[in-house]
Amino acid sequence: MGGGYSGNSDGKNFTYGGYLGLHDLLSLQRDEQGVSNDEMHFIIVHQTFELWFKQVNRELRDVRDILAAEHVPESDVPKAVSHLSRVTEIYRLMTHQWKVMETLTPQGFLAFRDGLGTASGFESYQMREMEILLGLEDVGRVSDMDPLGHFRKLSTRSEADAAALARLEKTLSETTLATALSNWLSRTPIMGSLYGSENDDDTVAEYVEAHLSAYAKIGEDTCARMEAQGVDNIEAVRNRFKSASDGAKDFLMPNGKINRSRAGLLFIESYRELPLLAWPRVLIDAVVELEESMVLFRTHHARMVERIIGRRVGTGGSSGVDYLDATTKYRIFGDLWGVRTLLLKAELRPTLKHGEIYGFAGDGTE
């Protein structure tokens, strides 16, 4: 292996095994208990996932810290993107790793499953830390599950379990990545208007209203076309477009008040070609890609589980596959997904104002 370290604290040169702690690492697979190949494979697959989770949590904390700053220097956005890209690649790798797990046959698993007792991935405190750090809310979880409830029970068992709970509680008290991202988005210059500047509220309201009316008009025009073509059940179609239009309004103006974070997100997504918005949109894409890769990870876990244990109750006592499938509906960055429904093709979006602020002097700017 290459350089990057010159020796250990005694000033002696490291060995490969010493640097990586291999002697310790390779003593953690229960060889002394005479586990079968199947069971060792089960242990190693879990351990490698947990090692990756450790790295993922570090990367995500860094992204959160970058975005939580009151002022995020432009040069920090690419750093956040590279942390996110690494996490996405790790997730892709882990999603593929379920295939290795699937080499375990149902009978092969049954041979040692009883020995697991109630131990379950449900108790993966690193996975819970990741969810909390990202900003998965309790109300969004299956049955409004309290993610710490189980760990409070476990915490009395050992110091390590108490430390895991303490870490989760600390994470819960911190700003989530979703909140940091939303706050950052709310400071997006919209139609040339800076966050907190004079007349900003009016400029943003004017932009949002212009977008909403263009969106509503598309619905009406499409309905009129469909009606002219004699589409069946035109009333139902009309209601669908009307509720899409109401939904767009609720999204951008919940309780009648403009949500500047969502307006900023809409602006970035709508005017993606503007040079100043290039990195913000790359960052948004990176977050969407990350969440997509997490959803696929959950989906493939559920399929692997279905293949190995069918519809059995999980060792943790959940409904098993049904529970896991329900978790594939989780969306932490709901706004980033939601805004896609509202986008308009370039010719129909409100005319850009103050394009020069975004490093753009192309046609169509005022």
* Residue 10 CA to its chain's centroid (Å): 43
Q: In the set 327, 333, 335, 349, which binds ligand HEM (CB under 6 A)? A: 327
Query: Interface mask (CB under 6 A) for ligand HEM, residues 255-294, using x and -?
Result: ----------------------------------------
Choice between 121 and 338, CB closer to ligand HEM: 121
Which residues, in sequence order, are CB contacts of 320 under 8 Å at separation 6+?
A: 305, 309, 311, 312, 313, 314
Identify which of residues 266 and 302 has a Cβ nearer to ligand HEM in the complex: 302
| Residue 101 binds ligand HEM (CB under 6 A) | yes
Residue 351 in tokens = 């005319």
- Total of chain residues touching ligand HEM, rule CB under 6 A: 25
Q: Which is nearer to ligand HEM, 317 or 359 (CB)?
A: 317
Does residue 317 bind ligand HEM (CB under 6 A)?
yes
Between 248 and 302, CB nearer to ligand HEM: 302
**Residue 218 to residues 51, 206, 348, Cα–Cα distance (Å):** 50, 19, 9
Measured from the CB atom, the residue of 36 and 82 that comes closer to ligand HEM is 36
Q: Say whether residue 134 binds ligand HEM (CB under 6 A).
A: no
Give the range of 72-80, 101-109, 227-235, 269-277 binding ligand HEM by CB under 6 A: 101-109
Q: Which of 135, 189, 219, 320 binds ligand HEM (CB under 6 A)?
A: 320
- For the segment 163-222, give every residue that binds ligand HEM (CB under 6 A): none
Smallest distance, ligand HEM to C-beta of residue 226, A? 42
Query: What gap in Å lies between CA 225 and CA 147, rounded to an integer?
Result: 50
Amino acid at 202: D
Q: Does 112 sit near ligand HEM (CB under 6 A)?
A: no
**308 lies in the binding site for ligand HEM (CB under 6 A):** yes
Q: Which of residues 24-63 bind ligand HEM (CB under 6 A)?
A: 45-46, 49-50
Measured from the CB atom, the residue of 316 and 338 that comes closer to ligand HEM is: 316
103 or 197: whose CB is closer to ligand HEM? 103
- Nearest approach, Cβ of 298 to ligand HEM (angstroms)? 7
Q: Tell me if 135 contacts ligand HEM by CB under 6 A.
A: no
> Residue 127 interacts with ligand HEM (CB under 6 A)?
yes
Q: Does 305 bind ligand HEM (CB under 6 A)?
A: yes
Q: Which residues bind ligand HEM (CB under 6 A)?
A: 45-46, 49-50, 101, 104, 109, 120-122, 124, 127, 301, 305, 308-309, 314-318, 320, 323-324, 327
